[in-house]
Structure 1
Amino acid sequence: MDLAAGFPSTSRDDWRALAIAVLRKSGVDAETPEEALSHSTYDGLAVAPLYDAADLPASAPFERGSRPAGGWDVRQRHALPDPEAVMADLENGVTSLWLVVGDGAIPVAELPRVLKGVFLDLAPVVLEAGELTAEAAEALLTLAGDTPLQGNLGASPLSPEAAELAARCAAGHPGLRAVTVDATPYHDAGGGDAEELGCSLALAVAGLRALTAAGLTVQQACDQLEFRYAATDDQFATIAKLRAARRLWDRVTEVTGASGPQRQHAVTSSAMMTGRDPWVNMLRVTVACFAAGVGGADAVTVQPFDAVVRPPDAFSRRIARNTQSLLLEEAGVGRVVDPSGGSWYVERRTEELAGQAWAWFQEIEAAGGIEAAAELVAGRVAATRERRAADLAHRRLPLTGVSEFPDLEEKPLNGASSSGPFLASHSPAALAAGLPKIRYAQEFEELRDLADAQAERPKVFLATIGPVAVHTPRAAFAANLFRAGGLDTETAGPGADPEQIATAFAVSGATVACLCSSDKLYGQHAEAVAAALRRAGARTVWLAGKGDYDGVDGYVHAGCDALGVLRTTFRDLEVTR
């Protein structure tokens, strides 16, 4: 069936001609619409404004996923020995358990109590135990007895116990895997999607070498691996990443002589979570879970919205699991295999991301493998982290409730703290490689914490010039920026008389001011108002907008270094710990 029948034929060139005409009317100076409207990812891939059938690449085996239609495994993470919480999850939609074992989490000796009443042949169990992996795995296997286990023992591909556990699983537990190829630490260190994928391949290949050296066949070794990736609120990036991961792993198995799909576990990103305005995290993880499901993940973990600041409670765990239930049962996201398949944009992005990741994997291998290339990997990830940090600082990458639209009146959650294994944590391999663990919001939140710790909240005086209708847009912009650092603001009200504004400034008790008005009124009054503010004791005078005015120290505008502005303001306000 020709869906375009009866419509005049069009081409990409026709679209280009129409688009460039509109752009030029808008004052955009560009040779092509692609030049004006394209943007690049942190992996250096260009995202074009338009895709058509010419962008559709050839499909690869398993790229579309092997998950049966109907849905994915709903996997909840538990980092505390709470059997009641475990049973509540399993009785209300969760289908597998991810248990964090070790110091500050679930003691190995507590595993029998935590899993009491759990049907281990029906509910897969995935362990995350670090240096205690062998001990935790033994405890789980002993607890199961003759019961056939499902899940994963959580050994790192590079750990000394991986080969022995893999052999035991291959021989006696066909539904149980021994090794988790955890790529999330590369994401949590600030890496891009291609870096996360390439490192996961290198880590997996290192594991294959170790397992086959210990006597397993290549096929047995491949069957022991499960891959863990981060799912973010950039839905198309997540969809493409999971699809590209399957394409890449198929290439590895083809070369090694094995076969079979990649087993994927997607966990909503720790890096994107915020401690401030944590309710917004509900929205972030919903989009990320949707993307993971559409992208074909076999298992998905939604992190509770409050996991940054406290042990998740019954409410936050319920919301996390119900997020998945809603997408599966009400939205029907799992009913169609690879619903984004055939999309020109998604297919092209998958293809290009896979190519970029494969090149990175080859670079790691040429350097001697993932262990030998630790310095190379850390340097590459650091470079991406710095680019992302610059975007966060300039608010090109906005964080709702943190760098944009902060709420200074928000109340902390009950039991809030900043310690504990509540967010998905690093693997031993990542720690050994010297990778940091970051959150995108942390630098803004550190300033918020510092402002909150003061006996009286520091503030900036907004020297509003002219009528309310004139100064309000820039005053609102400036207030939003300063509040992102926890600073309060006070306005002068309507008027343009420098001495009246200076008097209001003196009464406010502030020592930093920001002029807010239109470009026209700046030309008439900015320098006089700045001079009056100086006489009234202003240490720093900002201006909301751009220009060149005597007496003005700096400018706040869209795209400015918001973190730099805030740090300078904190210094001038003499706000210290």
Structure 2
Amino acid sequence: MTVLPDDGLSLAAEFPAATHDQWRRLVAGVLSRSGKDVPDAEAEDALSTALEDGLRARPLYTAADGAPDPGLPGFAPFVRGGRPEGNTANGWDVRQRHVAADPEAVLTDLENGVTSLWLAVGPTGVPVSELDRLLQGVYLDLAPVALDAGPETSAAADELFAIYERRGVAPEAAAGNLGADPLGTEARTGQAYDGDGFPGTVALARRCAETYPQVRAVTVDALPYHEAGGSTAQELGCALAGGVAYLRALTEGGLTVEQALGQLEFRYAATADQFLTIAKLRAARRLWARVAEACGASAAGAQRQHAVTSSVMMTGRDPWVNMLRTTIATMAAGVGGADSVSVLPFDHALGLPDAFSRRIARNTSTILIEESHLSRVIDPAGGSWYVESLTDELAQAAWEFFQEIERAGGLAAALRSGLVGRELAANWAERSKRLAKRREPVTGVSEFPHLAEKPVVREPAPAAPGGGLPRVRRDEAYEALRARSDAHLAATGARPRVYLAALGPAAAHTARLTFTANLLQAGGIEPVTEGSFEESGATEACLCSSDALYEEQAESAAAALRESGAGHVALAGRPGSYAGVDTYVFAGCDAVAVLTAALDRMGVS
């Protein structure tokens, strides 16, 4: 035991050391007083939170929660970062995405904090012929360019190389990524374009390895799997399988293992679940280091990572809240050690971003780097018993899914057989249940919606590639309900309404009245709390009060509402057997089903 010098700060030295068993016993005591009688040994499980992939977040972690040695930053297994210095020099690379041929927007970004460009090229972005104009005024020896061109990758790469030559950019000064990702494109579109051997990808990688040492040819894009509803482990497993497929193709095409590893960059989603994002990036580096080790190239196994704030978490309603989501996601990406970070503008779900939303997006990174000094510490989360445990557990779950894909013949075969699609769909179905029951709340949409908000209107963005895996968003079920309400408002001049009948004093009904009003507005239904039912303009009503008052007044109140013309009477509370009450709304009910049924009954199409 280490003896600390007596400096007058005794801390807890005067108290006996507490044990884990004592803590469990105290927790069990508190739970028993709240009506949950659990044994001491199960108290910790009672406070645990279920995560995806069968993982659980426990309420307490200690030094006894072991995890493999994460090593040192810049050394295998690279859990703590791919470089010894991490992002402490200048922060992470701030990479802004552009899908429209707007040279002024590109220059504005670069002049105000953006350090590299991510360009969508092809039918769903900037035409290949417009690349030269889009990059006018850009110092290409200073600003790396990452392409995302799908089936037009070879043409876009040739054009970019031609631009380098015309402008006299030295091959060793050019930097970025050509974005070749035939498997990712197949996942997006359902169409294979580079053959099973990926000849075009291999040719680009060989050209980069021989002539452009700072340009990588291949992007292993995990976003299609995340955006199709995949879990964190599924996203990592698909990325690992894609990386292995490219590694095989490149080495078979003549590159050394070290050269092949140097041609890959991995792209992941960063979400507002900060700890899962941090653990995801750390686990991804560990997993890829294991692949490199198996190939005999441990020292070259540092994974280059590009993190993008999740489009799944973005909402069309109350889009201003997206600024908070992307800030948390960007912070998590930085703490997790991403080399490059792209912040999607807060209006991403609505169309093309305007100058204000692009400014907020790039300033998100600037504030975290320059004002919060987030990049001054290498691996800030390292040593946290929770983060280290979560990193290990996530890596194990991802490795299992990766092995399942490999047993199916690799990622291409797993995509074509439907294995990947089925697994992702099953995960999204489970998550959709949590969203519908508001166990996973979406602020501004399923919780605290604002029916009178002024819509944010943007120019339409180019249509995203489709035909393969679906694209999902957390708000989609509620967005469909709100759209029905908007159409009804446009057609009739009023939203569908439900009268909230409060029984008893405010102390008895306020909690459930507030709950019900919030629930109704999530579906675009206007709650009416003033006046009588006849004056409300509603065709349905909901009783709101305490359980004690329901026993005394619920049935008579329901009968009175029926006599006043209410075609349907609900009650805010757990299901009971009150005469005259048709349905019940309560915490944990399927809000989407309840709201859908209400709109159907009210004739809202």
* Deviation (angstroms), 1:334: 0.6
1:183 and 1:228 in contact (8 A); partners too: yes
Unaligned segments of structure 2, at least 5 residues: 5-10, 71-76, 184-193
Provide the secondary structure at the position in 2 that maps to 1:55. coil
1:157 and 1:204 in contact (8 A); partners too: no
Aligned pairs for 1:302-381 (under 5 A) are 302-374=343-415, 375-381=418-424
Aligned pairs for 1:180-199 (under 5 A) are 180-199=219-238
Moved more, 556-565 or 28-37: 28-37
Q: Aligned partners of 2:534 and 2:18: how far apart in 1? A: 65
Aligned pairs for 1:63-462 (under 5 A) are 63-65=79-81, 66=83, 67-70=86-89, 71-145=91-165, 146-147=169-170, 148-158=173-183, 159=194, 160=198, 161-258=200-297, 259-374=300-415, 375-415=418-458, 420=462, 434-454=468-488, 455=492, 456-462=494-500
* Deviation (angstroms), 1:29: 2.4
2:69 matched to which residue of 1? 59
2:48 matched to which residue of 1? 38
Provide the secondary structure at the position in 1 that maps to 2:117. strand
Moved more, 196-205 or 157-166: 157-166
1:56 and 1:342 in contact (8 A); partners too: no
Provide the secondary structure at the position in 1 that maps to 2:551. helix
Q: Aligned partners of 2:301 and 2:428: how far apart in 1? A: 34
1:305 and 1:320 in contact (8 A); partners too: yes
Unaligned segments of structure 1, at least 5 residues: 494-503
Q: 1:530 aligns with which of 539, 545, 558?
A: 558
Q: Aligned partners of 1:478 and 1:382: how far apart in 2? A: 31
CA-to-partner distance for each residue in 1:56-103, whole Å, 9 max, x for gaps? 312242110023423110000011111111011111110000001112
Q: Aligned partners of 1:33 and 1:299: how far apart in 2? A: 42
1:558 matched to which residue of 2? 587
Alignment of 1:470 onto 2:504: no
Q: Aligned partners of 2:406 and 2:457: how far apart in 1? A: 48
C-alpha spacing 1:366/1:2, structure 2 compared with 1 (3 Å): farther
Alignment of 1:574 onto 2:579: no
Q: Aligned partners of 1:17 and 1:468: how far apart in 2? A: 39
Alignment of 1:48 onto 2:48: no
CA-to-partner distance for each residue in 1:189-220, whole Å, 9 max, x for gaps? 11111000011000111111221222222221
Provide the secondary structure at the position in 1 that maps to 2:350. coil
CA-to-partner distance for each residue in 1:508-546, whole Å, 9 max, x for gaps? 221111111111111111111112222333222111011
* Deviation (angstroms), 1:5: 7.0
TM-score by length of 1: 0.94
2:318 and 2:450 in contact (8 A); partners too: yes
* Deviation (angstroms), 1:22: 1.4
Identity percentage of aligned residues = 58
Name the amino acid aligned to 1:281.
N
1:463 and 1:513 in contact (8 A); partners too: yes
2:74 matched to which residue of 1? none
- Alignment length (residue pairs): 557
2:578 matched to which residue of 1? 549
1:304 and 1:320 in contact (8 A); partners too: yes
CA-to-partner distance for each residue in 1:20-75, whole Å, 9 max, x for gaps? 11111122222222221012211111211110001131224211002342311000
Name the amino acid aligned to 1:539.
G
Provide the secondary structure at the position in 2 that maps to 1:243. helix
1:239 and 1:292 in contact (8 A); partners too: yes
Moved more, 562-571 or 534-543: 534-543
Name the amino acid aligned to 1:347.
E
2:234 and 2:401 in contact (8 A); partners too: yes
1:499 matched to which residue of 2? none
Provide the secondary structure at the position in 1 that maps to 2:552. helix
Provide the secondary structure at the position in 2 that maps to 1:227. strand
Q: Aligned partners of 1:55 and 1:473: how far apart in 2? A: 41
Name the amino acid aligned to 1:108.
V
Provide the secondary structure at the position in 1 that maps to 2:97. strand
* Deviation (angstroms), 1:367: 1.1
Provide the secondary structure at the position in 1 that maps to 2:230. coil
Q: Aligned partners of 1:10 and 1:532: how far apart in 2? A: 60
1:463 and 1:492 in contact (8 A); partners too: no
1:157 and 1:207 in contact (8 A); partners too: no
Q: Aligned partners of 1:2 and 1:296: how far apart in 2? A: 36
1:130 and 1:155 in contact (8 A); partners too: yes
CA-to-partner distance for each residue in 1:98-134, whole Å, 9 max, x for gaps? 0011124211111111111111111110001111111
Provide the secondary structure at the position in 2 that maps to 1:420. coil
C-alpha spacing 1:403/1:505, structure 2 compared with 1 (3 Å): same
Alignment of 1:20 onto 2:28: yes
Provide the secondary structure at the position in 2 that maps to 1:54. coil
Q: Aligned partners of 1:373 and 1:304: how far apart in 2? A: 33
Provide the secondary structure at the position in 2 that maps to 1:152. strand
Name the amino acid aligned to 2:437.
H
Q: Aligned partners of 2:115 and 2:591: how far apart in 1? A: 44
TM-score by length of 2: 0.90
CA-to-partner distance for each residue in 1:255-275, whole Å, 9 max, x for gaps? 012223000000000000000
Alignment of 1:490 onto 2:531: no
* Deviation (angstroms), 1:400: 0.3
Moved more, 35-44 or 242-251: 35-44
Name the amino acid aligned to 1:370.
L
2:530 and 2:536 in contact (8 A); partners too: no
Provide the secondary structure at the position in 2 that maps to 1:372. helix
CA-to-partner distance for each residue in 1:483-526, whole Å, 9 max, x for gaps? 00111011256xxxxxxxxxx22232211111111111111111
Name the amino acid aligned to 2:309.
T
Q: Aligned partners of 2:338 and 2:315: how far apart in 1? A: 24
